[in-house]
Amino acid sequence: MIKKDIFIGMFVGLIANAIGLYFTASLLGKGDDFTTVIQAAADEGFLGKLISLGAILNLVAFFIFIKKKQDYRARGVLLITVFIAVFTFVFKLF
């Protein structure tokens, strides 16, 4: 049961990050297509920052799980957020 709740939290964290990335790209893309914005961000070197801004929705998911006393799901969201932070750090190095 614990592993299932952590996995659900990780899945919610990934979905929240993907939705946040889409909203961030839409807001900062000035009306361009999502793939065009992502490609331009990769070319100009700020894709990591865009992904990090997308992770802000993970805060919402985390606090919803905490409020509902679903600590293991909140732990899954936190794990994905840490993974995204490490990923963007490594992505920035290379």
Report the Cα 45 to chain-centroid distance in Å: 18
Structure pTM? 0.88
- pLDDT band of 17, cuts 50, 70, 90: very high
What single DSSP character describes residue 33? Answer: -
Whole-angstrom Cα distance, residue 12 to residue 55?
12
Mean pLDDT throughout 22-33? 87
Mean pLDDT throughout 71-83? 96
Report the Cα 88 to chain-centroid distance in Å: 11
Whole-angstrom Cα distance, residue 93 to residue 58?
24
pLDDT at 4: 96
- Decide if pLDDT at 92 tops 90: no
CB-hemisphere CA count at 13 Å for 92?
A: 12
Q: Is 69 helix (H, G, I), strand (E, B) or coil?
A: coil
